[in-house]
Amino acid sequence: MSKKIEIEKKVLSENDRIAAEIRKELKKRRIVSLNLVSSPGSGKTSLLEKTLAALKNEIRMALIAGDVQTENDANRLINAGGEAVRPIVTGGACHLDARMAEKAIASINLEGIELLFIENVGNLVCPSSYDLGEDMKVALISTTEGDDKPLKYPAMFRRASVIVINKIDLLGLSDFDMAKVKKNALQINGGLKIFEISCRTGDGLNEWYNWLRSLTGRQ
């Protein structure tokens, strides 16, 4: 058991070293980086599609799309107008790590890029432990999931800076309680910024766009 813990510590230590180098390089280039994390189906790719459509003429964006087996999400982002999109297929791994991110970033022409999105693998457990050199983790949940998600996956919500609650157009079709999920999330991390959105109807997206503008000095 102690040997397993020692190996895990070495792996995370090396990951953190690479992540620090990524962060230093992105900061030097004044690129804001966001690591999007969620369970499968919460709407990470849909949110990025909407963001590209709304802001691609204002903010120069690069996107890394992580997936276990396919490049489907990356192809969706390209079709949505993404000009600097790089897929990472993990081949079964349940998270992205800093070395994967480093390799993908190295293949992007970063000249003029202002905002880097890293769409992580759909999982709220493993990605919480791996720093990818991002400025912030953005955790997505949807109203089709349980409002106890923050309590079940506290490490992720503790390390996130932002929570996006998607599919608010479906409120009332399940027992999801908006007040309860916010209370649960803020109980874990009182500093969380919270957005309520619907990628399908567009409700709440302007607040998200304006926040991104503010991050990149566009507002």
pLDDT in tens, the chain (219 residues): 455 555 556 778 999 999 999 999 999 999 999 999 999 999 999 999 999 999 999 999 999 999 888 888 999 999 999 999 999 998 888 899 999 999 999 999 999 999 999 999 989 998 999 999 999 999 999 999 999 999 999 999 999 999 999 999 999 999 999 999 999 999 999 999 999 999 999 999 999 999 999 999 876
Q: With beta carbons less than 8 A apart as the criterion, state whether 143 and 58 touch.
A: no
How far apart, in whole angstroms, are the C-alpha atoms of residue 204 and residue 197? 4
Strand partners, 115: 32, 61
**162-166/193-196 β-pairing:** parallel
**115-119/85-89 β-pairing:** unpaired
Q: Which domains does the chain have, with CATH numbers?
A: 2-215 (3.40.50.300)
Residues 6+ apart with CB under 8 A from 96: 64, 66, 88, 90, 118, 120, 121, 127, 130, 132
What are the residue ranges of helices labelled H in the chain?
2-28, 44-55, 72-79, 98-106, 149-152, 154-159, 178-188, 205-215
How far apart, in whole angstroms, are the C-alpha atoms of residue 149 and residue 160? 13
What are the residue ranges of helices labelled H in 107-204?
149-152, 154-159, 178-188
Tell me the CB-side half-sphere exposure of residue 146, using CA atoms within 13 A. Answer: 7
